[in-house]
Chains A and B, each alone.
Chain A
């Protein structure tokens, strides 16, 4: 599965619109994740996950930065996320099902921040893009 030229343009354009608030988007996506899918908190026993927690904000920034890197290198997501892919495979070992949950929460966050821009085709492009990101991150699992 790979993105068409039109889909790439769409992904880049949407991210461009929120790039100034990327950190907040990352943090909000995580908040939504922990709220809707509380089992995902099991990967963060060492974190204070309350709203406003500095750890949550720092981690949200990390997630946003990684998504931003993937967007910047949208022609080579595997290359851009190679190190993260190894981290997830050998150290973090987050069960693959959770990438779907986080992707969904990222879509909800984008939708709520960009109601006019998150059209059906933008939504489709982002769903596909996050699916590719998830694949890259789980590609070395076994």
Chain B
């Protein structure tokens, strides 16, 4: 089970408070679809994903990115029980959505990069390490109920 120190929790929460969830969510999901185009396989019904600008401007990408990031906010609220927090979502992604858990890691990798763009020097190595732990924890929690 992943364990966060008090410093890590404070660091993560303090940065999260400044994140524009609306904008960041779309950016994170958009970058996933652009940098790893094979991830578009899950979003055939999203309409126009034919170019970088189409993807970043796509309203369904923005809406879904926001949804995903809001859910991520729960991870921050319940950092001490990620597996419990994401149990139902894990089952959903396995049984209904059929998403390879490797995609959770790919998406998780987008988060520190987008945070680095928005927060620059404030996104120190220590801050990054706390967030890497969180994204890894969430990815594992989402994979936990797979069978």
Residue numbers of A with Cβ under 8 A of B are 28, 31-32, 34-37, 104, 107-109, 111-113, 115, 118, 120-121, 123-124, 127
Contact = CB atoms under 8 A, between A and B. Distances in A.
Given A108-B112, A120-B56, A35 B126 contact: yes
B128 A108 contact: yes
B129 A35 contact: yes
Main SS at interface, chain B = helix
B115 to A, nearest CB: 9
Nearest to A31: B125
Interface residues of B, number: 24
B127 to A, nearest CB: 9
A121 B35 CA distance: 7
A140 B84 CA distance: 44
Given A111-B116, A118-B117, A104 B31 contact: no
A108 B120 CA distance: 9
Given A32-B128, A35-B128, A120-B31, A107 B117 contact: no
A28 B126 CA distance: 12
B121 A112 contact: yes
Contacts of B55: 120
Given A36-B128, A115-B116, 12 more contacts: A31-B125, A32-B128, A35-B126, A108-B112, A111-B116, A112-B119, A120-B30, A120-B34, A120-B35, A121-B34, A121-B52, A124-B34
B35 A104 contact: no
B132 interface: yes
B113 A111 contact: yes
B109 interface: yes
16 contacts: A35-B128, A35-B129, A36-B129, A36-B133, A104-B109, A111-B114, A112-B119, A112-B120, A115-B116, A115-B118, A115-B120, A120-B31, A120-B52, A121-B34, A124-B34, A127-B35
B72 interface: no
Sorted nearest first, the 9 A-B pairs with minimum C-beta distance are A111-B116, A112-B116, A35-B125, A35-B129, A36-B132, A36-B129, A124-B35, A115-B117, A120-B34
B146 interface: no
B113 to A, nearest CB: 5
Contacts of A37: 132
Nearest to A118: B117
Contacts of A108: 112-113, 116, 123, 128
Contacts of A121: 34, 52
Contacts of A36: 125, 128-129, 132-133
Interface string B28-40: 0011001100000
